[in-house]
Structure 1
Amino acid sequence: MRGEVRRKGFWHEPDALPTSKAIALQTWAPVTIEVLLEREGRKITATDLATEVQSRSGVSTSHPPTSWVPDLLVVVDHLRTLEGEPSLSGLVGAPPPPPRATRSSGGGRAASPRVSAPRAPAKSDRPVSTCPRCFMALPATGICDTCD
């Protein structure tokens, strides 16, 4: 780890030239298709796919696979649909969920997750009426201060 620079975002290897997520996805899509077709129908985890695609393409990221592999699979399936080919996203399994910590309640039972009832939106979250001419928010009077 000594002397190694920790990069963030998306970049081209080996010169660390920064790039965007969109360009990374565009670069990774054909590589992903290649990797999945080589597997001849065998499943692969999202983490293993991410590692292989970054290694082959020369574009890397510091973001976890769970934040970009689903987007990549959407692009891959879109390209496959345009080519009249079947989807490949079914070959990619989600990484196993991290183990959940259980809280001991004295009876040896795992704590059940709390589910809250749906709430009504706050007044501040409700849509605002806007003027049809200037698109400014209307005051409570309903008459636009700018236009009228």
Structure 2
Amino acid sequence: MRRGYWRESGDAVSAEEAWDIWAPHAYDVLLEVARRYHAVTTYGEVGKEVQDRSGVRTSALLQNWIGSVLGRVVRRAHNQGHPPLTALVVHKDDGKVGVGYAEVLQMAGQPPVEDDMQRERHAASARLDCYRYFEASGLPADGGQPALAPRLEEAVRRQRRSAPQPRRPSCPRCGIQLPVSGACGYCD
């Protein structure tokens, strides 16, 4: 098996050259995603697509290079006045944006967001900006709503359903759970 970075023709390229070649392809992939309301893509899908479109391949692990490619996308979007297209890229397993999303915040002059769900809400809002800016198909007439990535949204829903319901207070005298009225039917 071949190692490193190379063109399908067989010529070796440096990692930096590969990233520079892949970045415009990643930008185009994300533009396509941005044109479908509430669409997202995964890091793996972007990685495969940029290699297929460019004819430049690598044996390097995705996590060792995708951030460098998407960092170039972040800077290009910012420089062109486009919304942060990398908000459309999420992890396959949990539907969350990656740690590289911090570069989106940095480019916008915003402080880092340490809380996962706050970062996901920011990314959801940034995705909505993308859908609006690039006139996504399926965008409602009212401009749409920010949404978590589908996998994450489902996990949040499951968590809410399985969370224990708050228990109503009990009567201080007999210990029976009080009805909504708050008056014990046995002791009062």
Q: Write out aligned runs for 1:31-42 (5 A).
A: 31-39=25-33, 40-41=35-36, 42=39
Q: How many residues align?
A: 91
Unaligned residue ranges in structure 1 (runs of 5+)? 1-5, 98-148
Aligned match for 1:50, one of 36, 47, 57? 47
SS of structure 1 residue aligned to 2:2:
coil
Identity of aligned residues (%): 34
Q: Write out aligned runs for 1:101-120 (5 A).
A: none
Alpha-carbon distance between aligned partners in 2 of 1:21 and 1:27, rounded to the nearest angstrom: 10
Please report how far the alpha carbon of residue 96 of structure 1 lies from its aligned counterpart in structure 2 after TM superposition: 2.5
Which amino acid counterpart does residue 12 of structure 1 have in structure 2? R
Q: TM-score, normalised by structure 2?
A: 0.46
Would you tell me which structure has more helix in proportion to its own residues?
A: 2
Structure 1 stretches (4+) deviating beyond 3 angstroms?
A: none
Aligned match for 2:85, one of 84, 88, 108? 88
Unaligned residue ranges in structure 2 (runs of 5+)? 95-188
Which amino acid counterpart does residue 57 of structure 1 have in structure 2? S
Q: Write out aligned runs for 1:1-148 (5 A).
A: 6-13=1-8, 15-39=9-33, 40-41=35-36, 42-96=39-93
**Structure 1 vs Structure 2 CA RMSD:** 1.4
SS of structure 1 residue aligned to 2:25:
helix
Which amino acid counterpart does residue 74 of structure 1 have in structure 2? G
Alpha-carbon distance between aligned partners in 2 of 1:16 and 1:8, rounded to the nearest angstrom: 12
Which amino acid counterpart does residue 91 of structure 1 have in structure 2? L
Which amino acid counterpart does residue 19 of structure 1 have in structure 2? V
Q: TM-score, normalised by structure 1?
A: 0.58
